[in-house]
A = this chain, B = another copy of it.
Amino acid sequence: MKRRPTILDVAAQAGVSKSTVSLVLQGSPQVKPGTRAAVQTAMAEIGYVYNRAAANLRSASVGLVGLVINDLRNPFFTEFATTLQMTLASHGYATVIANADEDPALQAKLVASMIEHGVAALVISPVYGEGSETFDQLARSGLPVCQVLRKADERTELFPFASFDYAAGSVAATRHLIDQGARNIAFVGGLPGRAITRERKSGWREVLREAGLAEVALHGKSTRGFGLQAADQLIAEHPQVDAAICFNDLVALGLMAGFARAGRPVGQGFRVVGFDDIEEAAQSWPPLSSVSCDIAQFAQDTAARLLAWMVDQDRPAPELPSAVRLVARASSLGNET
């Protein structure tokens, strides 16, 4: 017979009752060491594998956390996802990662599937727009849900929101460019109307208005491809622009590639700052200045807050902005190596 062995088989093999086997499985201290050893030997002998579905059915508490990411292909989010998974793993929780691919319908399906699978909590970097039923469903489930990096639902008492203080980063980046001598600073990338775009733009706008400088903004998707295309547009339509703050590093790297292609490599009179400080920023040429969001640290903090919520019923603050830090590299500095 090919049937998977159960704890009853183990119990028979070890000459104890199924309850004792269950206690061993749970690492209870109240079984005698000798008995424990016998049970463990029996398990190894008959090749027993734990059936978590059965256990969950009875105990309801599952060491499973769901993670839904709007775009897992973006390295920034990949880093967040992998760090969160590893941090939770070190606390005995398994994480299921899913990619919503910026598709609200898929996101809804994934969330429903995770609830069905009985996750104990959910972390979501949501897709924008059309997501209200998803959050209504989450609200009904009563699960601990953390919104991270993107705020798609305003009910932050229900879905506490943690992200970075992008506005402050934007101010710092703009001041830095002005200090370096830039006078026509464009903002490139970010889809218009989104909260995160507004935030990353707000500091730039504020500083420019204070300084009485002109504003040029090119909006679009947050991809390398858009940056490439934006370079051409900037050169053709706004030749006076001498610096750019990009929505993220991917856009910035694309923009730099675009300027290089046009024969005006960044560093020679044109300055660029990105957002996120992904690993590649330090490795590109020229190295890219970026508003650094310590995403690994952020993922660890998120894990800690989530654990506090799940384990100690200690609900996180509704809004929590993490500090950012401007890392100045050659792409924005006056002198060029």
Contact = CB atoms under 8 A, between A and B. Distances in A.
A94 B79 contact: no
Interface string A5-25: 000000000000000000000
A4 to B, nearest CB: 9
Contact of A285 (B72, B98, B261): B261
Contacts of A142: 2
B78 A283 contact: no
A157 B94 CA distance: 30
A97 B97 contact: yes
A51 B116 contact: yes
B57 A53 contact: yes
Number of copies: 2
Interface size class of A (residues with CB under 8 A): 35 or more
Interface of A: 2, 47, 49-54, 56-57, 62, 64, 72-73, 75, 78-79, 81-82, 85-86, 89, 94-99, 101, 106, 109, 113, 115-118, 140-142, 224-225, 228, 254, 256-258, 260-261, 279-280, 283-286, 337
9 contacts: A51-B116, A51-B118, A52-B117, A52-B118, A53-B118, A72-B78, A72-B81, A86-B101, A89-B109
